[in-house]
Amino acid sequence: MTATSHAIELLQVAARAADSKGGTDLVALDVTQPLPLTDIFFLVTGNSERNVVAIAGEVEDELIRHGAKPLRREGRAEGRWALLDFGDLIVHVFHEEERGYYQLERLWKDCPVVPIELPERDTRE
């Protein structure tokens, strides 16, 4: 079994939102095989506690605007590791130190990576 098209659609919305707030190191993992409760883990890093809170807030707002319903949210106030559960998609927004410490990519290394499509940035000055 692989991630549903609905989960992939939610991922793209979340990725654009995270990117718009300066989220880095965006990684999406298809966790359907080991976890029957969700389809995709989306991991993103913020460069400060304030940035983690901003990224998590923007992701949640955009997913809600897209019609997704949040089932659970944890850790947003602390700004170190925010978890947003939208059923088919679980978003992990990490502070740089927590991302390195918990290394979820290593824990779930056998899961396929889901491609993320972001809008091209204009690099001209």
Pairing of the two strands 40-46 and 89-95: parallel
Identify the CA nearest to 46 among candidates 6, 89, 17: 17
Domains of the chain (ranges; CATH) run 5-107 (3.30.460.10)
pLDDT at 102: 94
Per residue in 27-81, pLDDT (tens digit) is 999 999 998 899 999 999 999 999 999 999 999 999 999 999 999 999 988 899 9
Name residue 91's beta-bridge partners: 42, 84
pTM above 0.85, yes or no: yes
Using CA atoms, how far residue 91 sits from 100, 122, 125, in Å, is 16, 27, 33
Contact predicate 7/88, CB 8 Å:
yes
Per residue in 72-107, pLDDT (tens digit) is 999 988 899 999 999 999 999 999 999 999 999 999
